[in-house]
A = this chain, B = another copy of it.
Amino acid sequence: MDKSWHNGEWCRSMRIRLDYTNMMSSRIDMHHGVTDDDITYLEEMGRKAHKDLWERHESGDLGFMSLHNQADELQDIKGAAARLQKRFDNYVVIGIGGSALGNIALNSALNPPYYNELSKDERKEGLKVYFPDNVDPELLRGLLNVIDLTKTVFNVITKSGSTAETLANFLIIREELKKAVGDEYHRHIIVTTDPHKGFLRKLATKEDFRSFSVPENVGGRFSVLSPVGLLSAAVTNVDVDELLAGAAEMHERCSGPDIRSNPALMAAALQYLLYQKMKNIVVMMPYAQALKDIADWFRQLWAESLGKKSDRSGKIVYEGSTPVNALGATDQHSQIQLYIEGPFDKSVIFLTVEKFRENVNIPAAGFQDEDALGYLEGSSLEKLIQTEQYATEWALTKNNRPNCKIIIPEVNAYTIGQLLYMLELQTAYAGELFNVNAFDQPGVEDGKKATYALMGRDGYGSLKQELLTGMDTSSKYIID
């Protein structure tokens, strides 16, 4: 790729920006908005949060903050992607949660809509990509009905190497591959897992699967810029160098402790302040179809990192705002009524795009005298969607609903790298401010154990007994 245009000036013009004007009490009622005093008050906390986080980074604790420096791994990934493109037509990610959401977000953002329906030429030799991130028999059977296994490679992703859903799908796929291609099946499987531990790592050695590593200090939901997300991006020709260059740029921009110039820290501080003002819901609303799945990826990042029963001192806090994904302009016809008129329980983060990669003009068709559509004639879809975003922002503000926007000059690998990494840092800073561990997920253990017990895993016999007796099915609270 020719990167002669890729000079300092271009990079500066591609910096994403945070505009939080409409969160401030100068714009909205002071009961619901943030005051300058609030922010001044947060400055000191922000400095401490920054110091603590970056100390952990420097001690090597937080691998996600170093992922923009992985030149060697990147060569491996690009080399593998090029070879896969020669050999296969389809690339299927077998993974769930943090092993799928980032891949899906990158694909939606950086590949054309209806990508899998394009011809191979139109995809520029990029592979078709599928993300069956569930254990639904109809979904997996449906996938097997549309792909040719002899032309398909499966990337099995689980950091621990023991995720139940991923292993179940893996066992099925492995068997299907054996039927379809015999002894060659191992060439159709790539494993992305812990560098040393776990069942899948062991099996990769034994059965000779190509493998990539999730660095030990990178958690699933912070792994999109590791091989977890990069390989599926690379097989579709996403410029993974640019993704990491964007992340590196954001890393640099967030390296200072001043809340007023560090966008991730400010975004975290604003959410912290709004949570104190009883906003227990945070809506992420991109105005661009391509960014829809980034909001879904963010849901995991925010919910799993900050939804915690105990703070770091062990105090019971039951903390965590609920992230909601929405999409402009679509959800103006679904959610906006509630956001404008309902309880004052939420804030909105818009993602806006200044220049779309395509534009489509609305033709002048002779209806200019029709009140219902004359005003549209001769305009464009880009202008319409941007206008609707601005109109929604204005209406929310007028109704005292705090909102901010992350402005993206154009959707490309460089800006998406910035955005994803900024949201990761924002979440990590929020963990510091809320004083919770943003990197664990103890709350999912109960459900996991119950699944093991009911599936008959060894060592869970007494829990199984408890489960079976605890829940009768002859309840009087059933309407049938």
Return the chain B residue nearest A116 by Cβ. B117
* Per-residue interface assignment for chain A, residues 360 to 396, with 1 indicating a CB less than 8 Å from any chain B CB and 0 otherwise: 1111010100111111110111111101101110110
Query: Which residues of chain B are near A266, meaning CB under 8 Å?
Result: 479
Copies in the complex: 2
- Residues of B within 8 Å of A324, CB to CB, are 322, 324
Q: In A400-455, which residues have CB < 8 Å from any B CB?
A: 441-444, 446-455
A150 within 8 Å of B (CB atoms) = no
Q: In the bound complex, how far is the Cα of B133 from the Cα of A285, in angstroms? A: 15
Interface readout for A334-348 with B: 1 if CB under 8 Å, 0 if not?
111111111111100
* A332 interfacial contact with B, CB 8 Å: yes
Q: Is the CB of A358 within 8 A of B19?
A: no
Whole-angstrom CA separation of A24 from B477 in the bound complex: 8
Smallest Cβ-Cβ distance to A18: which chain B residue? B479
Pair B140/A360 contact, Cβ less than 8 Å:
yes
Residue A398, interface by CB 8 Å: yes
In the complex, are the beta carbons of B289 and A139 less than 8 A apart?
yes
What B residues does A116 contact at CB under 8 A? 117
Q: How far is the CB of A308 from chain B (nearest CB, A)?
A: 5
Contacts of A142 in B (CB 8 A): 112-114, 358
- Contact call B168/A139, Cβ cutoff below 8 A: no
Supply 25 A–B pairs (Cβ within 8 Å), ascending by A: A21-B475, A97-B330, A114-B143, A135-B329, A137-B360, A137-B381, A138-B289, A138-B290, A138-B356, A138-B357, A163-B333, A165-B384, A171-B365, A199-B372, A280-B343, A281-B281, A303-B337, A304-B337, A307-B337, A324-B324, A384-B451, A387-B454, A388-B447, A391-B447, A391-B451
